[in-house]
Structure 1
């Protein structure tokens, strides 16, 4: 395995030479695979008096991957537990209070999401905006004791698991649910951990974090349950989502010291990653080191996710830290690295990482295969893509039904309408919601609008009330094909059905009007949505409009969008500055103070951005200006 290393130099920490042991070979192999055109430079020698201080990482940035979606769920190793070490990852039901009733309840709940309100997920491992490969998935399904799993056993496996507590919360009028819960208990209802688990799960699925937080507060204030560390971590996570990182950080001081363990700080760390707050994420990571918590793959993977979006050069430093601390890469670690190489069109490097992963005894799962297939498709490697898709099918797609929702859009990406039809035929007689959504996307990619509409019609017949997530799938197809009239009709149909419209729908509407050339209308829709709703529009929605203004050289409106993104909570990063500076370039106008603005936001130019800055520098010298001087 050492053959992959470019050099066998000694890495120094604290002045002591630390050489890679056999257990660290895989990490250094990965590192060598990342040291070329993926934008990840050769690892730097780091002098530190505390393992590897992240606040001493070099402040240089590389090309950022395509903008990431802002309305995301908890950003962690979703569904990637390969060795059991991540059994307390944080997502839907990561605390003991929020433990799903049992695996069957969760699976049925996922498959038959009949009344799902807006669910928006950030494809952490995707540079593609319309990627159907669900990499993140659910992260943690802790088991309750057998005495607490009776709730779902009496229901049909195709019915959603709703607890009585959840129904009481949903029926509560007004903003506060405390009085309604008090009344519900006075009526003789018991509060069990199983009920709490399902209530929390369903509230999180609907992104109703405000009510979930109120439930957590009510449980503690009424002493209905004895809180343990994971329950405090659940509260911390909800506070971060509802009130922001600063309030969450303050809440930690209120947690009893005996419960301020690693899970508390890793919850805060992951929420810092969600909002892209590099400085705070690094501070939290170093705080965990100060408190002498063990360095885990979870914490390191959070940093890899963050740097993958914002500064790929720092990925090498995290891998070196993992090597030094003897932190074994998890399946999720490899997924991040594979996707990083794929985004950089380095297929050879991507394949090398896969071989390293297999050499370490970790086989690619369906999600990893889907990532590989997607990058093979985008790289024009049809044979390799088709080979891995057949591998995903496992010889008989009927026996591997769970792979269908990934296969459909991937075959569509290859232009294989025949294969899309074959896979959809397996699902058509008894489809699942995620398969229908994938089929709509696939037919849309193949420009077969009637087939996409037929799938949507079938969804409406099977599930009487669809959510905006499901309408948005067809709305995206209309947007991609500039079918404005049909898009408007579908939105009207959504409104007539009483469907709740949220960020995913706004994003599709924005794209619909942009494709129709009505940028100002798209801008107006997004502004109204942000003002009238408590949910934050998606990052991509703002960027899509800002890109259009930049193309026109409309500096005023580009600056306006930049400001509005900051107002709703999106930190300024390379992507926004790229777009803003392009507006100045197209307007042939100087950008006074732009470097100072970037410095204030801790944004440091990469090569591409530096080239843009030179074009808008009001004090730059040219051959003509030299003559005039």
Structure 2
């Protein structure tokens, strides 16, 4: 086993940073060699990665060799949408909050009931003076205990009420009677990043006392940079942590893996080598990311090899990892293998394994198995949970069984008097996928009448509803309103829905407009956006100038497919001779 030591590994930035790996010392090399020489960028090819396998402890990690991760960039799987559950490890894993069990224990074993502090925060106006005044008044007659604060923060975050959670955090920091810990500062960094952006969060870190600027503060900032797919800032924060001699943890490395899984799969190998050099043991989350990456790249053999290596290290797959495996088998058309994993998830008695119901509903729907979806739903129908209802609605919707989805929604509406927007959105998505515009409008009206605040997921479903109904201009108008009204920016996938639709129509002007808007709101240009924009020019049979330079400026490395499309667009360009002949 390698000794734990402070590596001299850095990810540096140059105008076109292209990270390559030299096996002799496992360091990140920042030579700006190009991977795009075949389409005119020039430059020498990248050095061959000599390492074929490496070990964590006594086990060979990726069996076939980590170099296989260097060949994944630009694959067709880049077009798959990013799932919300995949965006980051949970706030509990970040270490910002007490767990629900810890909160219950601190409350003397009492689980039910919301705290008085929570009710004050939620009921007060969002205007800063109002919430401050309400808290000042409440604290005069109540004991502000740690358990009360933890419970309130837990509930606000669970409901994604980050704006109010931030105001509470600011108020707490102003109270001299409250002792602020490093975890409190990290929580504040996280909330600022979510509400006001990572730049403001970075500025706040400068104000934190030096004794509290530990690993948890910086890893929180790192996780939010990754959440925004901001490669440069993520790498900058990671290097800052190394400069400060903070420990290189599995969490920080997992964040980089998560980032590169979505933006530049070639760099996954670099992170794995760094983990080996720093003697960082991969966690279950690490393996889940690698398994999903292999599956998305259609490398099922490699995916299964990673799984076997994980088991050899003494780790057994949990239900989330099993869910990833089953999905990838379905996507690969290996339905028998998918069913084998699903049988393991169900166990000998489905009723005793309630934690997997939601995943089973989703994956059986992917398999197109109506009977299995109905069977799992019947297992929880007598006493369903909200998440199970939502997943049942989406599962029946995927199976084009709108009536069953509506029945589940009606049951949910009667059982819970006041539903949040995301549960209405599950039904809205069913109507959107089935091109039922009138019913979609009705559910939106119900949301409005019930006082729901529309968030990014709802706007996404609305945009899809109008696109599926052939009303691209209306969808574009809705997205424009969403970008003005939301305290959080619309989803990446929402912009891509419209960009893809304009691309299909060969509407270059509007495609460029959406592409520019994505940059404005902070979605850094990457392969997926450029691929769609290029398709707009191809469908319009319009010449495209300076596209290679744009790719180069954004550090986007085109795949073979994208290179072929570029050549196709080049064919549309007029020459001096063609102008004379016209």
Give the alignment's TM-score, normalised by structure 1.
0.80
Does the CA contact (< 8 Å) of 1:62 and 1:313 recur in 2? Answer: no
Instruction: After TM superposition, give the deviation of residue 309 of structure 1 in Å.
Output: 0.1
Instruction: After TM superposition, give the deviation of residue 523 of structure 1 in Å.
Output: 1.0
Partner of 1:45: none
Instruction: After TM superposition, give the deviation of residue 319 of structure 1 in Å.
Output: 0.7
1:171 aligns with 2:89: no
Q: Aligned equivalents of 1:312 and 1:534: distance in 2?
A: 31
Instruction: After TM superposition, give the deviation of residue 343 of structure 1 in Å.
Output: 0.7
Report the RMSD for the aligned CA atoms in angstroms. Answer: 2.9
1:441 aligns with 2:394: yes
Instruction: After TM superposition, give the deviation of residue 339 of structure 1 in Å.
Output: 0.4
| Equivalent in 556, 560, 581 of residue 509 of structure 2 | 556
| Equivalent in 68, 77, 101 of residue 89 of structure 2 | 77
CA distance 1:14–1:380, shift in 2 (3 Å) = closer
1:65 aligns with 2:78: yes
Partner of 1:495: 448
Structure 1 stretch displaced more, 391-400 or 585-594: 585-594
Partner of 2:110: 153
More helix by share: 2
| Equivalent in 272, 295, 306 of residue 319 of structure 1 | 272
Partner of 1:589: 542
CA distance 1:386–1:265, shift in 2 (3 Å) = same
Partner of 1:99: 98
1:89 aligns with 2:93: yes
Structure 1 stretch displaced more, 214-223 or 353-362: 214-223
Q: Aligned equivalents of 1:339 and 1:596: distance in 2?
A: 32
Partner of 1:184: 138
Partner of 2:156: 203
Instruction: After TM superposition, give the deviation of residue 268 of structure 1 in Å.
Output: 1.3
Partner of 1:264: 217
| Equivalent in 252, 267, 272 of residue 205 of structure 2 | 252
SS at match of 1:195: helix
1:460 aligns with 2:413: yes
Does the CA contact (< 8 Å) of 1:75 and 1:302 recur in 2? Answer: no
SS at match of 1:452: helix
Q: Aligned equivalents of 2:484 and 2:491: distance in 1?
A: 14
Instruction: After TM superposition, give the deviation of residue 64 of structure 1 in Å.
Output: 6.3
CA distance 1:605–1:253, shift in 2 (3 Å) = same
Residue deviations 1:144-200 (CA, integer Å, cap 9, x gap): 695x323x6163xxxxx42111111112224112122112223x1221111111221
Instruction: After TM superposition, give the deviation of residue 399 of structure 1 in Å.
Output: 0.9
Instruction: After TM superposition, give the deviation of residue 604 of structure 1 in Å.
Output: 3.2
SS at match of 2:70: coil
Partner of 2:61: 29
Does the CA contact (< 8 Å) of 2:223 and 2:255 recur in 1? Answer: yes
Partner of 1:48: none
Residue deviations 1:530-564 (CA, integer Å, cap 9, x gap): 22232321111110011010111101111111122
Does the CA contact (< 8 Å) of 1:412 and 1:446 recur in 2? Answer: yes
Q: Aligned equivalents of 1:558 and 1:341: distance in 2?
A: 31
1:348 aligns with 2:301: yes
1:162 aligns with 2:114: yes
Does the CA contact (< 8 Å) of 1:34 and 1:341 recur in 2? Answer: no
Q: Which residues of 2 match residues 109-120 of structure 1 at below 5 A?
A: none
CA distance 1:238–1:78, shift in 2 (3 Å) = closer
Partner of 1:216: 169
Q: List runs of 5+ in structure 1 lacking aligned partners.
A: 1-8, 43-59, 80-87, 104-142, 156-160
SS at match of 2:110: helix
Instruction: After TM superposition, give the deviation of residue 77 of structure 1 in Å.
Output: 3.4
SS at match of 2:539: helix
CA distance 1:604–1:19, shift in 2 (3 Å) = closer
Instruction: After TM superposition, give the deviation of residue 469 of structure 1 in Å.
Output: 0.8
Does the CA contact (< 8 Å) of 1:310 and 1:573 recur in 2? Answer: yes
Partner of 1:418: 371
CA distance 1:379–1:74, shift in 2 (3 Å) = closer
Q: Aligned equivalents of 2:510 and 2:337: distance in 1?
A: 44
Give the alignment's TM-score, normalised by structure 2.
0.86
Q: Aligned equivalents of 1:442 and 1:433: distance in 2?
A: 14
Residue deviations 1:108-144 (CA, integer Å, cap 9, x gap): xxxxxxxxxxxxxxxxxxxxxxxxxxxxxxxxxxx36
1:529 aligns with 2:493: no
Q: Which residues of 2 match residues 465-614 of structure 1 at below 5 A?
A: 465-614=418-567
Does the CA contact (< 8 Å) of 1:581 and 1:613 recur in 2? Answer: yes
SS at match of 1:465: coil
SS at match of 2:352: coil
Q: Aligned equivalents of 2:573 and 2:25: distance in 1?
A: 41
The one of the two structures with greater contact order (alpha-carbon pairs below 8 A, sep at least 6) is 1
